[in-house]
Amino acid sequence: MPGRRERPVLVYDGDCAFCAKCVRAAERIGPDAETVAFQRADLGALGLTEERAAAALQWVEADGTVRSGHEAVAALLGTAGPAWRAAGRALLLPGVSWIAARAYRLVAENRHRLPL
For the chain, the domains span: 9-110
Q: How far apart are CA 28 and CA 31, in angstroms?
A: 8
User: Positive or negative CA dihedral for 37, 63, 56, 114?
Assistant: negative
Considering only CA atoms, which of 43, 3, 35 is closest in space to residue 19?
35
The tens digit of pLDDT for each residue in 35-90 reads 999 999 999 999 999 999 999 999 999 999 999 999 999 999 999 999 999 999 99
Whole-structure pTM over 0.95, yes or no?
no
Considering only CA atoms, which of 22, 5, 3 is closest in space to residue 115?
22
